Amino acid sequence: MMDIVTVGLFLLALLLVPLYWLLFPRRTFSDSERRYLAEPPKLTSLKDWSFDDAVETYLADQLPGRDALVGLNAYTVLLSGRQVSQDIWRDREGYLVEAPLQVAPEQLQKRLGRMAALGERTGLPVYVMAVPSTGYVRRGTLPRALAALYRDDSLLGQIADAPGIRPVPLAETFLQQGQSWYYRTDHHWTGEGAYAAYRLFMKTAGHQALPYDAYYHHTVAGYVGSTRSRSALWLTAPDVLTIDEPMDAAVTLSFSDEEGTYPSLFFYDHLKEYDWYPLFLDGNHPVTLVDNGSAPEDAPTLLLVKDSFGNTLAPLLVPSYRRIVLVDPRYYRGSVADLCAQYQAEEILFCYSLERICTDLNLSILK
């Protein structure tokens, strides 16, 4: 009896998968991975002996229940204590945080030097805002052995000591109060985190910060961010996305890679997509211009060199600047100094997550 059940189930398992492949149309896009799945293998790959690999890659992408299986594996790894091998770690309170990147101090030093040189050449003040990593700020909730691996301390110290730039000191405030200033399912800061960073920047730059209630605060529930998709820990509850909108700013938005202008900082259409974060300033563009028609006459122009953290900081800065020029070095190939001259910028702010200053900030554009 047991033999027939065993054999029956085994054959069923082996046959169900190929039957599924035969009967159901092939998937072309994976939402959770945000990538196109592998194409069916071409016979031309027989020529370079890659046919067997191509078949395997294709089948792996088409495996029924793939996300669930990947999730099962993610929880197996988590529950057996092997988080250290993953890119994303879950802390005791269910926050999914990025594991520390291995960053060489020289990489940071080189970039800080370039930033100082930029300030010297343009004669403008260069502010550097490095956002400490979630894991570092929330290290009290991580297993001690993992928490010990974050090197933010020494990297932030390097920035604090760097000559020729003006560091925005986020770390202390974030370590004291910032445990909830990050999303559980995403690597970004929340509205609160961005606002705290905004205040610290305004203080460093000698400007008057607006109070928190000078902004409309909108929330959208059901936000699922990057750390959840990367970790495949599907049982993590979604976040509430926070949006801070300046109350009276006559905003005009334009992009270097697109025609036309937009009257808003927020693009709610992106809520229909899997990834919501492009809601802020329509996500990534090489150069984004934000003009504030209702700014005071003497309000300055800011050049904001940023990764995606800058997209939630910029709306908070809008009321205090006549114009903000956002530059994303991953897509912009020109020179930052030229941009400063072109738009007559009066201040330069680098806003980056700490580790990605080293990995993502393209050195050549700082020449």
Partner 1 sequence: MVFSSLTFLFIFLPVTLLGYRLLPKKLRIGFLLLASLLFYAWGEPLYVFLMIGSILVNWGIGFKVTGDGPHRKAWLVLSVALNLLLLLIFKYTGLLWDTVKGLFPAPLSEKAVAIRLPIGISFFTFQIMSYVIDVYRGKAKAQRSPVLFGAYVSMFPQLIAGPIVRYVDIEAQLDDPDLSLSGFAQGVGLFLVGLGKKVLLANGVAVLWRELAAMPGETGVLGAWVGLVAYTFQIYFDFSGYSDMACGLGRMLGFRFVENFHYPYIAESVTDFWRRWHISLSTWFREYVYIPLGGNRRGLKRQILNLLIVWTLTGLWHGASWNFLLWGLYYGVLLILEKLFLGRVLQKLPRFLRRLLTFLIAAMGWGIFYFTDFAALGTFFGSLVGVGNPGLVTARSWAWVLGYAPLLLVCAVASTPLGAELDRRLSEKKVWSWVRLLLGAGLFLLCLGALASQSYNPFIYFRF
Could you list the residues that contact partner 1 (CB under 8 A)? 2-7, 9-11, 13-15, 17-18, 21, 32-35, 46, 49, 52, 55-57, 59-61, 63, 66, 69-74, 76, 80-85, 143, 145-146, 148-149, 187, 226, 229-230, 232, 275, 277, 283-284, 307-308, 353, 356, 360
Q: Report, in Å, the least distance between residue 164 CB and partner 1.
A: 26
The token pair at 340 is: 């400063």
Residues pairing with 351 in the sheet: 129, 306
For partner 1, give the closer residue by CB, 187 or 323.
187
Distances (CA, A) of 79 to 106, 226, 289, 300: 37, 21, 47, 53
For partner 1, give the closer residue by CB, 83 or 288.
83
For partner 1, give the closer residue by CB, 242 or 308.
308
Q: Using an 8 Å Cβ cutoff, are 190 and 182 in contact?
A: yes
Instruction: Return all residues near 179 (Cβ < 8 A) that are at least 6 apart.
Output: 137, 138, 140, 141
Q: What does the alpha-carbon distance between residue 188 and residue 142 come to, in Å, rounded to a whole number?
A: 18
Q: Report, in Å, the least distance between residue 27 CB and partner 1.
A: 13
Q: Report, in Å, the least distance between residue 297 CB and partner 1.
A: 37
For partner 1, give the closer residue by CB, 166 or 187.
187
For partner 1, give the closer residue by CB, 2 or 104.
2
End-to-end CA distance of the chain: 76
φ, ψ dihedrals at 248, nearest 5°: -125, 90
For partner 1, give the closer residue by CB, 5 or 23.
5
How many residues are listed for the chain in this entry?
367
Q: Report, in Å, the least distance between residue 208 CB and partner 1.
A: 31
Q: What does the alpha-carbon distance between residue 229 and residue 123 come to, in Å, rounded to a whole number?
A: 43
Q: Using an 8 Å Cβ cutoff, are 162 and 112 in contact?
A: yes
Tell me whether strands 35-36 and 29-30 are parallel, antiparallel or unpaired: antiparallel
- Tokens 């030097």 locate to 113
For partner 1, give the closer residue by CB, 34 or 121.
34
For partner 1, give the closer residue by CB, 184 or 230.
230
Q: Report, in Å, the least distance between residue 334 CB and partner 1.
A: 20
For partner 1, give the closer residue by CB, 54 or 290.
54
DSSP string, 119-144: HHHHT--EEEEEEPPHHHHTGGGS-H
Q: Report, in Å, the least distance between residue 285 CB and partner 1.
A: 12
Q: Report, in Å, the least distance between residue 263 CB and partner 1.
A: 25
φ, ψ dihedrals at 306, nearest 5°: -150, 160
Residues pairing with 327 in the sheet: 287, 305
Q: Report, in Å, the least distance between residue 248 CB and partner 1.
A: 31
Q: Report, in Å, the least distance between residue 49 CB and partner 1.
A: 7
Q: How many CA atoms lie within 13 A of 324 on its CB side?
A: 28
The number of angstroms, rounded, from the C-alpha of 352 to the middle of its chain's C-alpha atoms is 9
